[in-house]
Amino acid sequence: LSQAGVKRLVSESFNCAHFKPDPRVFEASSEKHEKLVKFVRKWFEDLGKGIECVEEYELSLGGLRGRADVVCWDGKEVHIVEVKSTQVHRARMQDALQLMLYVYMYSKTKNTSLSSINAYLAYSYRESPYASAYIIRVGVEAEKTLINVVSRLVESYSSIRSGSFEGKGLYVISDLCDICVYDKCPFKALTGVTP
């Protein structure tokens, strides 16, 4: 975690240490990605007059760094968009976690209330002349749960990084994880996880 960026934190949090990171999580920036980012930016700018958007908006919090693909302001609210140009059927729940890390970091660093930040995931639509993207707004209920998770992630990350880590263990959010069941299990002391 020494050089952790947002994507890295998400990928590591979502996978137990012994699993190889899933290459799909690390999305290479490509022409396709840029094209989609441009489309999304334009889509938001076209929402109404006075909307301003930037791409690759840099965020950092407690040593954690990341870039939100598109961030727009309409005077009252902020719109943060995580753009995924991978084929849309490769969408994963982790994408929302990454997005929400940006939202959290934005809210903390800009001292903005979460209620005035709208979070979106954008995916490229399959090749078609009449549509280019899916844009999904992450609603309040979903946001609540996700923010709860990412705030814990950031906390534990920061405390590990600053050497002041005293908690029971890292929060590991995984779709597939082991639990320690035997007394001798070395993992048990670290994670405090009991079945």
Partner 1 sequence: VPIQGLNRGDTIASVKSALEKLINIYHEILLNEIAVMRSNTIVEEGRDIGGAIIYYNTAYPLQSVEPNASRGLDYLLLAYSAINGIRRIVCGYNVMKPIDPKPECRIENIRNEVVELLQLISDLSEEDVNKIYSSSLESLVAKLVITMIKHGLLYVVPLWAHDNLNIVAARKLYKLERRAFIGDAKSLQDLYSFILMVKLEKFFSEYGIDIDTLLSEFEKEISEELGLGRDGISVLGGIDKMLFKTFHGMLYRYASTASALPFTPATLESNVLPFMIEPPLPKSYLTYTQEMRRMWTLLDQELVEAMNTCINRIAQERNITESNKISEVFDVIKDILSEVQKKYPSLSYHQYTYLVKMFRACSDGHSVLAAITSPTGSGKTLIFLLYTLIKVLASKLLGLKSKAVVVYPRKALARDQLERIIELSDAVNRVLKRRGVGVELVIGIRDGDSLNIEREKPSNFYSLREIVVEREGKQYKLCHGISASRGYTVFLAEDSCWSSPVEELMWLRDVKVSRGEWRYLAQYDIVVTNHSILHRLANAVLIAKDFNEFRDVVGNTNIIVVDEAHVYTKENLEILAAALLKLLYTRAYIHKGSEPATAADFVAGLDFIVSSATLTDQHMISKGESKLFTGNIIGFFKIKTRCSEVSSLPPALRDFLSSILPEPVLSVYQSQGVVIHLDYDCAVLKDLGIEPESSSIIWRYPYRIRTALVVIPYPHRNSWTTLLEVLIALMHWINSARLRLENLYSGFSKLLALVFVDSRTTLEDLYRLIIRRYILEEQEQVDRVLLAKLYRYNLYTYLKENKLAERIQATLQIIGFISELAQQGAVSAYQLIYGLTDKARAVGDFNVVPLYLTLSDIAMLSRVTVKSYDDFFNALQSATYMRNVVSFIENVNRFAKEAIDKDYAKLLDELKQGSLNVSVLVHHGELKREERTVVESLMKGKLQPIPHIVMATSTLELGVDIEHIPVVVQYATEPLPVELVQRLGRSGRALESFYVSTLLLVLRNTGEDLTYLRDQEAVEYVYNFEVPRAASPYRHADVMLRYITKLYVDSCLSNRDKECYAEQRLLNFIKTIKSLGFISDTRDVEELFNQWLSKVKHFYLRLVESSLPTRPLDKVLVSVCEDLTKILKMFESERIALGAMRSEGLRDLSASNLEAAINAITREISVAANALCSSELQRYGNPQNALPYLRALSRALSATIDLLKQGKPHLEQAVSSLAGVMLGVYEYVHKLYAQYLQSVESVRTEGVQSVEVEDKIREYVEKDLHVFDTLIPGIVDDIGNTYINHILIKLKQGKASLELPDTTYEAFQRARPLHIKLSE
Could you say which of 135, 151, 158, 169 contacts partner 1 (CB under 8 A)?
Answer: 135
Q: Which amino acid is at 97?
A: L
Of 1 and 88, nearer to partner 1 (C-beta) is 88
Q: Considering the complex, what minimum distance in angstroms separates the CB of residue 3 from partner 1?
A: 26
If DSSP codes are grouped into helix, strand and coil, which group holds residue 124?
Answer: strand
Rounded to an integer, what distance in angstroms lies between the CA atom of residue 82 and that of residue 74?
18
Helices 140-161, 6-14: inter-axial angle, 10-degree rounding: 100
Site string for partner 1, 77-96 (x = CB under 8 A): ----------xxx-xxx--x
Of 97 and 105, nearer to partner 1 (C-beta) is 97
- Looking at 52-60, 75-83, 157-165, 167-175, which segment touches partner 1 (CB under 8 A)? 167-175
Q: Considering the complex, what minimum distance in angstroms separates the CB of residue 168 from partner 1?
A: 17
Could you say which of 146, 153, 154, 170 contacts partner 1 (CB under 8 A)?
Answer: 146
If DSSP codes are grouped into helix, strand and coil, which group holds residue 135?
Answer: strand
Q: Which amino acid is at 66?
A: G
What element of type H or E holds 58?
Answer: strand 52-61
88, 35, 104: which is closest to 43 by C-alpha? Answer: 35
| 149 is a contact residue toward partner 1 (CB under 8 A) | yes
| 189 is a contact residue toward partner 1 (CB under 8 A) | no
Widest Cα–Cα separation across the chain = 64
Q: Considering the complex, what minimum distance in angstroms separates the CB of residue 79 from partner 1?
A: 12
76, 95, 190, 174: which is closest to 134 by C-alpha? Answer: 95
Taking CB under 8 A as the criterion, which residues in 113-132 touch partner 1?
121-123, 125-126, 130-132
55, 56, 134: which is closest to 91 by C-alpha? Answer: 134
Q: Which residues bind partner 1 (CB under 8 A)?
A: 39-40, 43, 46, 87-89, 91-93, 96-97, 121-123, 125-126, 130-142, 145-146, 149, 173-182, 184-187, 195
